[in-house]
Amino acid sequence: MYSLKELQELIHTRIENLQTGGEPKALYEPIQYVLSLGGKRIRPALCLLSYQLFNSSEPDDSIIYPAIALEVFHNFTLLHDDVMDDADMRRSMPTVHKKWDTNTAILSGDAMMIKAYQYMAMCPGKFMPEVMKEFNDLALGVCEGQQYDMDFETRNDVTVDEYLEMIRLKTSVLIAGSLKIGAVIGGASERDKGLLYDFGENIGIAFQLRDDYLDTYGDPAVFGKNIGGDIVNNKKTFLLLKAMQKAQGHVKDELEMWLKTTDGDDGKKIEAVRDIYDELGIPALSQALMNDYFERSMKALDEVKADDDLKADLKQFAVNLIDRVK
Amino acid sequence: MYSLKELQELIHTRIENLQTGGEPKALYEPIQYVLSLGGKRIRPALCLLSYQLFNSSEPDDSIIYPAIALEVFHNFTLLHDDVMDDADMRRSMPTVHKKWDTNTAILSGDAMMIKAYQYMAMCPGKFMPEVMKEFNDLALGVCEGQQYDMDFETRNDVTVDEYLEMIRLKTSVLIAGSLKIGAVIGGASERDKGLLYDFGENIGIAFQLRDDYLDTYGDPAVFGKNIGGDIVNNKKTFLLLKAMQKAQGHVKDELEMWLKTTDGDDGKKIEAVRDIYDELGIPALSQALMNDYFERSMKALDEVKADDDLKADLKQFAVNLIDRVK
């Protein structure tokens, strides 16, 4: 049995040695480039942790490749998202459409998704119909989440519930699906497969809420990105949507005024909007909601019929997500 | 047993009634739009014709959905190709990135590919590993072909063999794979599956050579598009590559001069380059090569162990491709 850290290392090494090269170079080099940029390899590691709950045999290619497929798919979504957002950098390196060009990024991304399906199809034949169903569902969910996220940019009537559904699709279904696919290939019961999915779905939402929270309230010295980016960009996170819902009178006027201020002093805007959030008690509401999802994820994990020892790493992973400061 | 025409009708109706709608609208409406633009539904019809060679039971969803998957995948490639080529029109209607925008076209295309996998995964479970392998191989092949096609635009040393490999990937592997997937789900022998693939691969190349030929030598009154577009755009087809290979002395100089003329009188350029092709005997070489691939496809089909009656429609399809004038 491997720890989360060991599994991340294993996946890291396997991805480094993955043969994604070949001709034509312009198609395959960007795939290798994107996969070489690193990342925590969380999704494949969760898939393998979930597998281990139900299967004590040494993980072989029939589970490792499906786990890798999840990381390849995740990186494919980043590649195409970066084109759509016209982002310059990813993990401190130029994005594919900047290093090559937009057409290369589109087509390499397409090929990368197909590679993900190739790796996923290396699961044991008897599990393939179920694995494919899960993979297709999560893949489509991620696209739906990305579309909602883009739609929200131009909408002014987004509700908190719609936001939670968007982050469920964009972030959680891939984490939940990764855990479930591991459980399927591990041979788990229907009930346990469902519980692992629930665990992932709830922890994914908690994770995204935490991410939004840290963007506004994180310590700039430890949090990787600049603090306040979401406020500057009027990003419709839980914090802003909840504040818009609760604000009244002059507080509402003030918040709306700041939302219209897009070319002023960023630092001043961040401070002012954060003050409004504080006045409305938004940080506590965000923390409470996050804890709510965290508790739900713990409850689902507790009910999984597997050794507590084996579940310890998944539990620790969830705790780390919530306690993290960066 | 259904004829090619009946199968095209069947697929047409099924695609019309396909439930590709849902939320978010901006993700799913472009998919419905692209699928509603029509087309001959050749790939799914070939898949079903191939299935019928080996299986006399009424086609049910477990073969019809995989057949539809091939059409959905084909249309996905057209959608993303149109973005990459910045094409304004497709089947006389605005392309998705013109009617909506580029981000919508990228993301809807991604979702469309996933829908194709969903439909393909409706094949019988016992065939799924083999069907998925074929589908992944053909999908990756199409991307490779598209990349070579883009690479060729900026290269001046493309050989005839490289061109044939490019059209094999871009056009033939999808046709060959469609036929093979039908054979797999129909329960064909290994040998017959391979023969159907060979039939499709060769007829696909013959088809593309015919298409290139008609672009220069077709009757403008019957051929759908303007004649001579490939010449105007210096498109590296078999005709041009063979001419560049054979031309010598002043003919070579003249051809090179015309290749450099990109903003002159299009009609004059078309006539002049066509005269050079004629002088070098290119049309006959093109016809001979096309017939060569046609003969190879017929030979493969002849060897398939199935009723001649059942093979008649596939044979007729191949003959029509070669005899077609538009």
Contact: B117, A117; criterion CB under 8 Å: yes
Beta strands in A7-72 (DSSP E): none
Do residues B17 and B72 make contact, with C-beta atoms less than 8 angstroms apart? no
Average pLDDT score over chain B:
95
Beta carbons of A107 and B136 less than 8 Å apart: no
Q: Do B143 and A110 touch (CB under 8 A)?
A: yes
| Yes or no, beta carbons of B118 and A110 under 8 Å apart | no
Question: Are the Cβ atoms of A144 and B110 closer than 8 angstroms?
Answer: no
Residue of B84, B118, B143 with shortest CB distance to A114: B143
Contact: A80, B107; criterion CB under 8 Å: yes
Query: Which of B74, B136, B137, B184 is the best mutation test for A, with the most CBs of A within 10 A?
Result: B136
Q: Which among B109, B136, B144 has the least Cβ separation from residue A27? A: B144
**pLDDT of B4 above 90:** yes
What DSSP element (H or E) covers B294? helix B282-303
Chain B positions with Cβ closer than 8 Å to A: 23-24, 26-27, 80, 83-84, 103, 106-107, 109-111, 113-115, 117-118, 121, 125, 128-129, 132-133, 136, 139-140, 143-144, 146-148, 150-151
Which positions in chain A touch B141 (Cβ < 8 Å)? none
CA distance B109 to chain A (A): 9
Chain A: closest CA distance from residue B200 (Å): 22
Label the pairing between strands A89-90 and A93-94.
Answer: antiparallel
- The pLDDT, as a whole number, for residue A20 is 80
* Inter-chain touch A136–B114, beta carbons under 8 Å: yes
State whether residue B213 is helix, strand or coil: helix
Q: Is the pTM of this model over 0.95?
A: yes
**A84 neighbourhood in chain B, CB within 8 Å:** 103, 106-107
| Nearest CB partner across the interface for A24, out of B23, B117, B144 | B144
Give pLDDT tens digits for A191-212: 999 999 999 999 999 999 999 9
pLDDT digits (tens, 9 = 90+) for B180-219: 999 999 999 999 999 999 999 999 999 999 999 999 999 8
CA-nearest residue to B138 within chain A is: A114
| Parts of chain A with a pLDDT under 50 | 326
Q: Which residues of B touch A128 (CB under 8 A)?
A: 125, 128-129, 132
Mutation for testing the A interface, residue in B76, B117, B168 having most A CBs under 10 Å: B117
B119 and B74 Cβ atoms separated by less than 8 Å: no
Interface of A with B (CB under 8 A): 23-24, 26-27, 80, 83-84, 103, 106-107, 109-111, 113-115, 117-118, 121, 125, 128-129, 132-133, 136, 139-140, 143-144, 146-148, 150-151
Enter the ipTM: 0.96
What pLDDT is attached to residue B282? 98
Put simply, the answer to whether B121 touches A133 (Cβ < 8 Å) is yes
Q: Is the pLDDT of residue B92 over 70?
A: yes
Out of B27, B84, B151, closest to residue A24 by CB: B151
Reading phi first (left if > 0) and then psi (alpha if -120 to 50, else beta), residue A261 is in beta
Identify the pLDDT of residue B323.
79
- In the numeric block, which tokens belong to residue B72? 């959905």
Q: How far is CA A97 from CA A33, A81, B104, B153, B281, in A?
A: 12, 11, 17, 19, 43
**DSSP-based three-state secondary structure for B90:** strand
Record: contact B136-A117, CB cut-off 8 A = yes
Of B116, B121, B108, nearest in space to B80 by CA? B108
Per-residue model confidence (pLDDT) at position B299: 98
Select the residue from A102, A143, A146, A173 to test the B interface by mutation, using most B Cβ atoms within 10 A. Answer: A143
**Closest C-alpha among B25, B69, B23, B27 to residue B48:** B69
Q: For the segment B224-261, what is each residue's pLDDT rounded down to a tens digit?
A: 677 999 999 999 999 999 999 999 999 999 999 999 99
Rounded to whole angstroms, how far apart are CA atoms B239 and B215? 10
Which residue does chain B place closest to A104, by CA atoms?
B147
Structure tokens at A63: 């589970």
Q: What per-residue string of b and e applies to B201-238 under the rule 16 or more CB within 10 Å gives b?
A: bbbbbbbbbbbbbbbbbbeeeebeeebbebbbebbbbb
- pLDDT (tens digit per residue) in A13-66: 999 999 887 899 999 999 999 999 989 999 999 999 999 999 999 999 999 999
- β-bridge mates for residue A93, sequence order: A90
Q: Is the pLDDT of residue B108 over 70?
A: yes
Would you place residue B326 in the very low, low, confident or very high pLDDT band (cuts 50, 70, 90)? Answer: very low
Min Cα–Cα distance to chain A from B168, Å: 14
Q: Quote the CA–CA distance of A289 and A286 in Å, as a whole number.
A: 5
- Residue corresponding to tokens 């094409």: B87
For B37, phi and psi rounded to 5 degrees?
-75, -5
User: What is the DSSP annotation of B218-283?
Assistant: S-TTTSSSPTTHHHHTT---HHHHHHHHH--HHHHHHHHHHHH--SS-HHHHHHHHHHHHHHTTHH
Region B53-60 average pLDDT: 96
Say whether the peptide bond before residue B24 is cis (omega within 30 degrees of 0): yes
Q: CA nearest A141 in B: which residue?
A: B111
Q: Please report residues of B whose CB lies closer than 8 A to that of A136.
A: 114, 117-118, 121
Chain B: residue whose CA lies nearest to A123: B129
| Farthest-apart Cα atoms in chain B, separation | 63
Q: Of B171, B162, B144, B322, whose CA–CA distance to B244 is shortest?
A: B162
Q: Of the candidates B27, B114, B150, which has its C-beta nearest A147's C-beta?
A: B27
* pLDDT band, very low/low/confident/very high, at B21 (cuts 50, 70, 90): confident
Single out the residue of B115, B213, B134 nearest to residue B174, CA to CA: B134
Check A133 against B115: CB less than 8 A apart: no
3-state helix, strand, coil in chain A (%, to 5): 75, 0, 25
Query: Which pLDDT score, from 0 to 100, does residue A323 have?
Result: 79
Contacts of B299 (CB under 8 A, 6+ apart): none
Strand partners, B90: B93
Q: A26: nearest CA in chain B?
A: B147
